[in-house]
Amino acid sequence: MTRWVMRTAPDEVTAQPTGVREWSGGADLQGSLRGLGMNWDFRAEALPSALAGTDAVALQPISSGHRPLAGKRVKRTLMLRVRPGTPEDVVARFEAELAAMPELIHTIHSWALGGADPTIPGASTAWTHVFEQEFTDLDGLTGEYLLHPYHWTRVDRWFDGENPASIVEPGPAHLIRWAQGAVLR
C-alpha cells in the first residue's frame, strides 16, 4: 500500500476518506514554509476521490531509518523538486547526502527519503522528492538539525540557488506539525 504525504487548506479535508490507513494530520506549525494550512500522512492503494485535486504525493521509498520514539513528536515533511535534466549520478549523490544526515544529527528519530511517483492517478507532479523526519520537539529541528555543520557546510549547497552545485528548484515546501504517535514506521 503506497504511502502518501499531502498539504491542504485548513478546511479542505474534514474526515478520513474511505480506504485510507494510518491517517494522521495536523496544522502547519509556525516556521513552516509554503504550507497551505494542514499537512497529512496516510497509506492508500490509490488516491481517494475525496482527496482529488489536493497536493498529494505518492511516495516510492528510497531509504529510511527507524528509531523508536514514544508519544507525541514533531513530524517534518520537506517536499522538493530536483531540476529537470540533473544527471542521475548527481541525484544519487544528493540522495545519499540527505540519507546520511540522521547518522550525524542525533535529534532526528525515524526518517524517510522518498521519490515522488507521478504515475499514480491523481498524484502530485509538482515534486520529485520528499524527505521526512520525526523529532522529539521543535528544538530538535530548529536547534541541532539546522546548526549541525554537515547541514550548512555540505547539504545546504544542493538547495542554495547561489551555489553552482545546487539542483533543487526554488520553493520547496517545508511543513512541520505535531503528531500524536509514530508516522514513520
**Which listed range, 10-18, 34-42, 64-72, 119-127, lies at the site for other proteins (CB under 8 A)?**
64-72
DSSP, collapsed to helix, strand or coil, labels residue 125 as coil
User: Which 146-185 residues touch other proteins, going by CB under 8 A?
Assistant: 146-147, 149-150, 152-153, 156-157, 159-165, 170
Binding residue for other proteins (CB under 8 A) from 67, 82, 125, 167? 67
Cα–Cα distance, 51 to 48 (Å, whole number): 6
Asked if 66 touches other proteins (CB under 8 A), the answer is yes
CB of 83 to other proteins, least distance (A): 13
**CA nearest neighbour of 97 among 22, 136, 148:** 148
User: Do 65 and 110 touch, CB atoms closer than 8 A?
Assistant: yes
Asked if 96 touches other proteins (CB under 8 A), the answer is no
Asked if 102 touches other proteins (CB under 8 A), the answer is yes
The helix (H) or strand (E) run that includes residue 90 is: helix 88-104
Q: Counting Cβ atoms within 10 Å, is residue 64 exposed (0-12), middle (13-18) or buried (19+)?
A: middle
Cα–Cα distance, 148 to 114 (Å, whole number): 23
Binding residue for other proteins (CB under 8 A) from 17, 26, 65, 122? 65
User: Do 142 and 107 touch, CB atoms closer than 8 A?
Assistant: no
Cα–Cα distance, 129 to 81 (Å, whole number): 6
CB of 65 to other proteins, least distance (A): 5
**Which listed range, 8-16, 58-66, 70-78, 81-89, lies at the site for other proteins (CB under 8 A)?**
58-66
Query: Considering beta carbons, is residue 38 or 112 the nearer one to other proteins?
Result: 112
Asked if 142 touches other proteins (CB under 8 A), the answer is yes
User: Which 119-138 residues touch other proteins, going by CB under 8 A?
Assistant: none
Nearest 5 degrees, angle CA 164-CA 170-CA 171? 155
Query: Considering beta carbons, is residue 27 or 104 the nearer one to other proteins?
Result: 104
Residues that bind other proteins (CB under 8 A): 63-67, 99-100, 102-104, 106, 139, 142-144, 146-147, 149-150, 152-153, 156-157, 159-165, 170
